[in-house]
Chains A and B, each alone.
Chain A
């Protein structure tokens, strides 16, 4: 069964870049879609973005140009970078994944998946 192990810096100063990595064990890395989700203290879950096995990404528009999700298939790892962090980026960050299914409507392929694999979360605090 697939397991995720994540790591990264837990304390950042404003304007620095958040960098997290998630390693995938026990499953087929290339079959999954991989996402990052965050949860500010006392608040709900926020979907940040995703990447598939071919490196195609989708991002939450709320993060505009600050976000980069990438993968290293040779290491079965995927990563999140969020630049120019502020206190509002203080949160627990989770890496997650799911096996996609596909639909095609009017020649457009759409992938859908629910998140049944989760990392344990990394607490990131942004403070001067």
Chain B
């Protein structure tokens, strides 16, 4: 089965800073990669699908890129409301595995 590895596992950054999270698949998955945001105590929410397509209603400071095995989620200007754990997920086939998550905090 394909494994999904995120880095870093956590980060702390100041408001307004650019933040990048990486997700690596153990085998190529084309662009079948989604990103989810889970705020503390809340249900996960779809942010990005097809590696780079923003879900409706998601702020434009979020962006995604990559294809094959290497993907990134970027927050161009970190805001206090972005405090959350972010998960990548491969969805091209079962098992539809998640990365272990990246916790984002404000410094």
Contact = CB atoms under 8 A, between A and B. Distances in A.
**Majority-rule SS of B interface residues:** loop
A88 to B, nearest CB: 17
Interface residues of B, number: 26
Given A115-B34, A118-B45, 12 more contacts: A45-B36, A45-B98, A46-B98, A47-B96, A47-B98, A49-B94, A58-B95, A94-B44, A113-B91, A114-B46, A115-B91, A116-B49
Contact of A118 (B1, B44, B97): B44
Contact of B91 (A46, A49, A94, A114): A114
A120 interface: yes
Interface of A: 35, 37, 44-47, 49-50, 58-61, 94, 98, 110, 112-116, 118-121
B100 interface: yes
A110 B96 contact: no
A1 B59 CA distance: 21
B43 A94 contact: yes
What are the 8 closest A-B residue pairs judged by CB atoms, nearest first? A58-B94, A114-B34, A114-B49, A44-B101, A45-B98, A116-B46, A47-B96, A112-B92
A118 B89 CA distance: 15
B62 interface: no
Interface in B26-51: 32, 34, 36, 38, 43-46, 49-50
A56 to B, nearest CB: 10
B8 to A, nearest CB: 14
Interface of B: 1, 32, 34, 36, 38, 43-46, 49-50, 55, 85, 87, 89, 91-101
Quick one: which of B36, B43, B93 has the most chain A CB within 10 A?
Answer: B43
Contacts of B87: 44-45
16 contacts: A37-B98, A44-B87, A44-B98, A44-B100, A45-B101, A47-B89, A47-B96, A58-B94, A60-B95, A94-B44, A112-B32, A113-B91, A115-B34, A115-B36, A116-B49, A116-B55
